[in-house]
Amino acid sequence: MDGTPRFLAQSFEQHFGPASALRVFRAPGRVNLIGEHTDYNLGFVMPMALDLACFTVIAPAPDRVLRVYSMNLEQEGSWPLDAIPSAQPSRDWGDYVLGVARELQLAGYGVPAANLLVWSTVPVGSGLSSSAAIEVAVAAALLGGRSIEPLELAKLCRRAENNFVGMPCGIMDQYIAVFGREGAAVKIDCRSLDHEVVKLPAQAEFLAINTMVKHELGSSAYRHRVAECAAAVEVIRKTHPQVQSLRDVTSAMLASLADQLPPVPAKRARHVVTEDERVEAFVEASRQGDLRRMGELLVASHRSLQHDYEVSCEELDFLVDTAISLPGVYGARMTGGGFGGCTVNMVQPEHALRFQAAISEAYQKRFGLTPEIYPCRPSAGVGEVTAL
């Protein structure tokens, strides 16, 4: 039996004291294979849920208080239930928890008095979405099996991040934490909120490599890009009033507007429009087992993020450039918001071990940091862990 739940139950009792009626819920992190910075532009993304996940252990509490202990941070937060609706963010990790509790209450799901323990194997702040994993795992624990539409759950957690944490993220991370599929990636249409399960060719392995850096610029640049995309849409709407988001824009439209769009919004829009095209092409290549084409699309995505969207950094570029110079590598690109975090690498299985050793050594030599490497095994979305 997987020892995880027992270890979690023991940790819970160590922290909160003896408890009965413990339940454990799990929500995964994700790696986005392609379709970056397209979700808040209502375009396409193609993540897979990982077997790295956030676990929450929950037990009822006798007082009217919600208490949460993060084993990763060794910190506890507690909030009287009655204070949750009027709570203000405190700009720390508790906002992810409180934001979810608040959205649950606002949506009419009562939040129980409870003790929660959180333990995540998703590297925190590395672009593999530890934030959506904690949001969705906490929401599932607080719901405790009460019925909710999966899409409602994803939207509710996104609102927590948008409205309480203050991060204007799109729907991708919460969506895949809910809808993840074992053994497959998921192509999401961020406008219709439909998805398609995409089996990946067996002859390729995906590996995420962590730069181990997170540049401060990241979250302000993210907000800035969201605003720049909205500004581009405003200009485009003067000629094409039907356009609601960059999702509605085509490359041909952009070309015809070359003298109206200022250079920076034009570059941002070009990234988003071509990235949506690349997601579709990637799915097609994946269906046909065209591994080389898939790899080329990953690299094209990286170049677009590097030069047009300008959200890469020296460490990410180094990892991508090094990866594609090594034998057995189809392609690589940064994944997640950028300015640090991880790359995703598509590698021939028989080269995977040598590849890991070589890239790790090169990165160490260049930056003095040992990159963590995570094999990406597509896993299921949120659920209760039953073997306790």
Q: Rule CB under 6 A: which residues touch ligand ADP?
A: 54, 70, 72-73, 93, 96, 118, 120, 124-131, 134, 336
Question: Per CB under 5 A, does 335 bind Mg ion?
Answer: no
Q: Report the DSSP pairing between strands 383-385 and 205-214.
A: unpaired
Residue of 39, 51, 173, 308 marked active site: 173
Per-residue interface string for the shown chain with Mg ion, residues 89-128, x marking contact by CB under 5 A: ----------------------------------------
Helix, strand, coil in percent for the chain, rounding step 5: 45, 25, 30
Report the residue number, 117 or 283, with the smaller CB distance to ligand ADP.
Answer: 117
Report the residue number, 4 or 219, with the smaller CB distance to Mg ion.
Answer: 219
In the complex, the smallest distance separating the C-beta of residue 205 from ligand ADP, rounded to whole angstroms, is 22
User: Is 211 within 8 Å of 342 (Cβ atoms)?
Assistant: yes
Q: What angle do CA 120, 142, 145 make, to 5 degrees?
A: 105
Mapped onto helix, strand or coil, the DSSP state of residue 179 is helix
Q: Tell which residue, 65, 356, 32, has the closest CA to residue 171.
A: 32
How far apart CA 139 and CA 369 sit, in angstroms, is 35
Partner interacting with residue 38 (select from Mg ion, ligand ADP, none; CB below 5-8 Å by kind): none
How far apart CA 263 and CA 273 sit, in angstroms, is 15
Taking the mean position of all CA atoms in its chain, how far away is CA 275? 17
Q: How many residues bind Mg ion (CB under 5 A)?
A: 2
Report the residue number, 158 or 270, with the smaller CB distance to ligand ADP.
Answer: 158
Query: How many residues does the structure list for the chain?
Result: 388
Report the residue number, 55 or 309, with the smaller CB distance to ligand ADP.
Answer: 55
Which is it for the CA torsion 318, 323, 324, 325, positive or negative?
A: positive
| Known active-site residue 173 | yes
Most distant CA pair in the chain: distance in Å? 69
User: Is 206 within 8 Å of 331 (Cβ atoms)?
Assistant: no
In the complex, the smallest distance separating the C-beta of residue 364 from ligand ADP, rounded to whole angstroms, is 23
Report the residue number, 94 or 331, with the smaller CB distance to ligand ADP.
Answer: 94
DSSP 150-188: HHHHHHHHHHIIIIII-----SHHHHHHHH-BTTEEEEE
Buried b (16+ CB within 10 A) or exposed e, 311-329: bbbebbbbbbebbbebeeb
Question: Per CB under 5 A, does 131 bind Mg ion?
Answer: yes
How far apart CA 117 and CA 17 sit, in angstroms, is 12
Partner interacting with residue 81 (select from Mg ion, ligand ADP, none; CB below 5-8 Å by kind): none
Partner interacting with residue 52 (select from ligand ADP, Mg ion, none; CB below 5-8 Å by kind): none
In the complex, the smallest distance separating the C-beta of residue 167 from ligand ADP, rounded to whole angstroms, is 7
Q: Report the DSSP pairing between strands 44-60 and 114-120.
A: antiparallel
In the complex, the smallest distance separating the C-beta of residue 293 from ligand ADP, rounded to whole angstroms, is 28
Report the residue number, 116 or 233, with the smaller CB distance to ligand ADP.
Answer: 116
In the complex, the smallest distance separating the C-beta of residue 125 from Mg ion, rounded to whole angstroms, is 8
User: Is 275 within 8 Å of 301 (Cβ atoms)?
Assistant: yes
Report the residue number, 70 or 343, with the smaller CB distance to ligand ADP.
Answer: 70
In the complex, the smallest distance separating the C-beta of residue 312 from ligand ADP, rounded to whole angstroms, is 15
In the complex, the smallest distance separating the C-beta of residue 162 from ligand ADP, rounded to whole angstroms, is 12
* Both structure tokens of 291: 């591994």
Partner interacting with residue 126 (select from Mg ion, ligand ADP, none; CB below 5-8 Å by kind): ligand ADP
* Both structure tokens of 224: 């800035």
User: Is 162 within 8 Å of 168 (Cβ atoms)?
Assistant: yes
Q: Which residues of the shown chain bind Mg ion in the complex (CB under 5 A)?
A: 129, 131
Which residues are annotated as catalytic? 173
